[in-house]
Structure 1
Amino acid sequence: MPGVLKLHVLGALGALLMAVGEVGAAPHPTVLSTDIGGDIDDTWALAHLLRSPELDLDLVLTETGESRYRAMVAAKFLEVAQRTDVTVALGVDFGVMSDADRHQGPWVQGYDLDAYPGQVAEDGVQAFIDYVRAAEGTVTVIAIGPAPSVAAAVQRAPDIARKCRLLGMHGSFDIGYGGKPHPDAEYNVKADVAAFRALMAAPWQSIALTPLDTCGLVALDGENYHRVWRATDDPLARAVIENYCLWAPRQTWLNCDFFAVRSTTLFDNVAIYMAYADAFLEYEEIAFEVTDEGFTVRDPDGPYRAQVAVRWRDLPGFYRHLTQRLVEDSTAR
């Protein structure tokens, strides 16, 4: 098929295993680029990442909006998880957000970021550059929001991309929001098209994306959801549900009791999963262009190319896997 190379599942898995390393290898140094404090899925994703022993989170880089607010949410969550070894890096700042846009504001009311026991980097872009340059081996970069800070870093220091593999929650190729049978301009691309283009143009070791085709279908309900809801003796799971219960009533589009029975769409967790495994997904290598409106359009002659998770092989299996990660402390090592 011109411009599109379909990958066999075993081939994709083999490539991933080579990237992650053999069983028993040291976990990969990892950076999370996130607009946490907006949609609640970033908070679920951070918990998922912290419960993934294959990945060693070293730096959280905030993206878009008010960088200090987003850093507060990340820092408090890391304190709850007893992971204050993680640096919180303030990315490109877009000015003070309104209270209405600080969807997890009540959870960090009165929180003092300056008292965070770990390191807070005011120039997060430079902190990211310095971290990658100092790292031994490949760095895993997981981008789960619009990415102006990561884009700024690879434009300021193009050499760092060659030391990193990028996993992104971006785009929409064949399926749109809510499983619609046509693509949409996905938010993480549309919110900053220039940043996404810069991200895709950088010379990463590898690029893998989860678009709406796969990540837009993910939500926990039934017993999977209630296992997380009931894990009240687990500080990390409890912090996720606390934030969800504070976040949900502030969403005018959401039924007021929705959060009692299921999650919202957990887009970002797919990018976390792709950083350490791929058994539940099917990939294609896709060449594409990015329109000014934020559409990612298949184009054999397009300037960008990525491994794209286009279909689920086993979505129920992923739900069970994600639930298990969230409610059990699999990081003990």
Structure 2
Amino acid sequence: MSALLCALPGYLCCMAAAATPVPVILDTDLGDDIDDTWALAMMLGSPQINLKLIVTASDDTVKKTRLVAKILEAMGRTDIPIGQGVKTSDQPIHQEKWLGNYQLDQYKGRVYEDGVQAMIDCIRKSPVPVTLVVIGPQTNIRAALDRDPSIAKKARVAAMAGSVEIGYNGKQGADPEWNVIKDIPAAKAVFAAPWDIALAPLDSCGTLILRGDRFAKVAASSDPKAAAVIANYRDWTHYDKYPKGESSVLFDTVAAYLAFDEAYCEMKTVNLVVDDKGFTRTSEAGRPVRCAMGWKDREAFEDLLVKALTSK
């Protein structure tokens, strides 16, 4: 398929809202904020997605790879290969208790020590463009671009990153967002590459919390995806206390959704540039990015999320 097709907005609106499953690589810092775990479960429960590879990102990617492996095993999906991304520190993960002494040799699926190369190879070999769902700092994506800039011609990006008009907790005005400020040079490189980008900034995802009957349905579900999410959420709340009966902010689930559809989001093309402080600034000199700036139907999105986690 030609590079021109990849450049079309939303890769033909996410392959006509994913009539054919979209091949996806997930690049995730799972093990930090818990929303990555929710996003992974959502993707596994979405028939619109064909998850080809998961690559761990940022800080202790060795331990994060073990965590992803145990979660996939708990969710019954050891068919999915995992790649270890660039390790940047030995910072502890926030799901340590749940991980326990699980080791990678227990995982029945394939594990790549060089996750960046596995990502490049997956993109190169795919007969159709691959969607990179990027829900952590973009260190691995920059490393992949450095090794093979041509991957931008065979991939598109759906990322949780940045803040355009709304900051954390719904406040007016942009904030430097975590996934950007954690590796600003990487974010600059990803935004500069010539691929289509669909962005879930704080404007849409920064107040997304599952409450009431929707959260209760996930918490009570016997679906292994939901059970693993809730078990990890209980462990994670040891670090970040949240009220019982609701989730934390589920930032990353919006990027997962943008991999295959955009209908529930208010999408706007904005020229953006990443500045030296980690802000995603609007600028005439910026590159066009399709941003989920708000919601057309947030309740429908939440229902979709619950269904993905609870439909075995």
Paired residue for 1:5?
A: none
Q: 8 Å contact 1:30–1:59 — kept in the other structure?
A: yes
Q: Is residue 221 of structure 1 aligned with residue 211 of structure 2?
A: yes
Task: Give the C-alpha shift of residue 301 in structure 1.
Answer: 2.0
**Superposition RMSD in Å:** 1.6
Q: 1:108 to 1:316 in 2, by over 3 A?
A: same
Alignment match of 1:266 (pick from 231, 239, 250): 250
Paired residue for 2:38?
A: 44
What one-letter code is carried by the residue in structure 1 that aligns with 2:305? L
Task: Give the C-alpha shift of residue 19 in structure 1.
Answer: 4.8
Instruction: Give TM-score, length-normalised by structure 2.
Output: 0.94
Aligned counterparts of 1:55 and 1:137: Cα–Cα separation in 2: 13
1:284 is paired with a residue whose SS is strand
Paired residue for 1:199?
A: 190
Q: 1:60 to 1:24 in 2, by over 3 A?
A: closer
Q: Is residue 320 of structure 1 aligned with residue 303 of structure 2?
A: yes
Alignment match of 1:307 (pick from 269, 275, 290): 290
Which structure 2 residues correspond to residues 84-103 of structure 1 after superposition, within 5 A?
A: 84-97=78-91, 101-103=92-94
2:237 is paired with a residue whose SS is helix
Aligned counterparts of 2:215 and 2:194: Cα–Cα separation in 1: 39
Task: Give the C-alpha shift of residue 305 in structure 1.
Answer: 2.2
Task: Give the C-alpha shift of residue 285 in structure 1.
Answer: 1.0
Deviations 1:171-202 (A, max 9, x none): 00100000001110000011110000111111
Task: Give the C-alpha shift of residue 26 in structure 1.
Answer: 3.6
Paired residue for 2:49?
A: 55
Paired residue for 2:158?
A: 167
Task: Give the C-alpha shift of residue 16 in structure 1.
Answer: 4.4
Q: 1:297 to 1:17 in 2, by over 3 A?
A: closer
Task: Give the C-alpha shift of residue 25 in structure 1.
Answer: 4.6
Task: Give the C-alpha shift of residue 315 in structure 1.
Answer: 1.5
Task: Give the C-alpha shift of residue 17 in structure 1.
Answer: 7.5
What one-letter code is carried by the residue in structure 2 that aligns with 1:223? D
Instruction: Give TM-score, length-normalised by structure 1.
Output: 0.88
Aligned counterparts of 2:80 and 2:145: Cα–Cα separation in 1: 21
Task: Give the C-alpha shift of residue 317 in structure 1.
Answer: 2.0
Q: 8 Å contact 1:16–1:276 — kept in the other structure?
A: no
Gap runs ≥5 in structure 2: 1-7
Alignment match of 1:112 (pick from 103, 107, 125): 103
Aligned counterparts of 1:315 and 1:197: Cα–Cα separation in 2: 30
Task: Give the C-alpha shift of residue 85 in structure 1.
Answer: 1.6
Percentage of identical aligned residues = 40
1:159 is paired with a residue whose SS is helix
Q: Is residue 189 of structure 1 aligned with residue 180 of structure 2?
A: yes
Aligned counterparts of 1:54 and 1:17: Cα–Cα separation in 2: 14
What one-letter code is carried by the residue in structure 2 that aligns with 1:250? Y
Q: 8 Å contact 1:34–1:61 — kept in the other structure?
A: yes
Q: 8 Å contact 2:56–2:64 — kept in the other structure?
A: yes
Aligned counterparts of 2:52 and 2:67: Cα–Cα separation in 1: 16
Task: Give the C-alpha shift of residue 20 in structure 1.
Answer: 3.4
Gap runs ≥5 in structure 1: 1-13
Alignment match of 2:260 (pick from 251, 276, 291): 276
Aligned counterparts of 2:89 and 2:10: Cα–Cα separation in 1: 38
Q: 1:324 to 1:95 in 2, by over 3 A?
A: same
Q: 8 Å contact 2:267–2:293 — kept in the other structure?
A: yes
Task: Give the C-alpha shift of residue 18 in structure 1.
Answer: 2.6
Paired residue for 2:149?
A: 158
Aligned counterparts of 1:149 and 1:24: Cα–Cα separation in 2: 26
Alignment match of 2:117 (pick from 118, 126, 129): 126
Aligned counterparts of 1:15 and 1:190: Cα–Cα separation in 2: 27
Task: Give the C-alpha shift of residue 165 in structure 1.
Answer: 1.1
Task: Give the C-alpha shift of residue 22 in structure 1.
Answer: 4.8
Alignment match of 1:241 (pick from 206, 211, 230): 230
Paired residue for 1:145?
A: 136
The count of aligned residue pairs is 305
Aligned counterparts of 1:133 and 1:56: Cα–Cα separation in 2: 16
Deviations 1:94-113 (A, max 9, x none): 1322xxx3210111111011
What one-letter code is carried by the residue in structure 1 that aligns with 2:301? F
Paired residue for 1:73?
A: 67
